[in-house]
Amino acid sequence: GQNIDQPTEMTATEGAIVQINCTYQTSGFNGLFWYQQHAGEAPTFLSYNVLDGLEEKGRFSSFLSRSKGYSYLLLKELQMKDSASYLCAVRERGGGSYIPTFGRGTSLIVHP
């Protein structure tokens, strides 16, 4: 089984940088995903980490430390449209299913 923990809510100012943390416990780590979800819509894929280190994609970056069971999503140059829920999901090895388990999500509010 897995235990995934992320903050419930964060606020930040337009143009600033925000870091959303995710910690997890798993018996067989097989990858970590970050998704963005606007209210009433489906989650959309942001990033995937399976090895330690930083993955950068434009304004968004994601970091993973497998030994610490820790990841963060970094959002730079925040825009109002970045107000959304950010979901951390961990994929576990075993059983061949590769179905990810999701955290509760972090609601990010960007204000002017």
Partner 1 sequence: DGGITQSPKYLFRKEGQNVTLSCEQNLNHDAMYWYRQDPGQGLRLIYYSQIVNDFQKGDIAEGYSVSREKKESFPLTVTSAQKNPTAFYLCASHLGAGTEAFFGQGTRLTVV
**Residue 43 CB, nearest approach to partner 1 (Å):** 5
For 17-28, letters b (16+ CB in 10 Å) and e give: ebebebbbebee
Rounded alpha-carbon distances, angstroms, from residue 65 to 23, 54, 112: 10, 9, 33
5 binds partner 1 (CB under 8 A): no
Q: Are 88 and 71 in contact (CB under 8 A)?
A: yes
100 binds partner 1 (CB under 8 A): yes
**Distance spanning both ends of the chain, measured CA to CA:** 40
According to CB under 8 A, which one of 31, 55, 60, 70 is a site residue for partner 1?
31
**Residue 15 CB, nearest approach to partner 1 (Å):** 28
**Taking CB under 8 A as the rule, which mask of x and - marks residues 33-72 in contact with partner 1?**
x------xxxxxx--x-x----------------------
The residue whose two tokens read 């416990």 is 25
91 binds partner 1 (CB under 8 A): yes
Residues found near partner 1 in the complex (CB under 8 A): 4, 8, 30-31, 33, 40-45, 48, 50, 87, 89, 91, 96-105
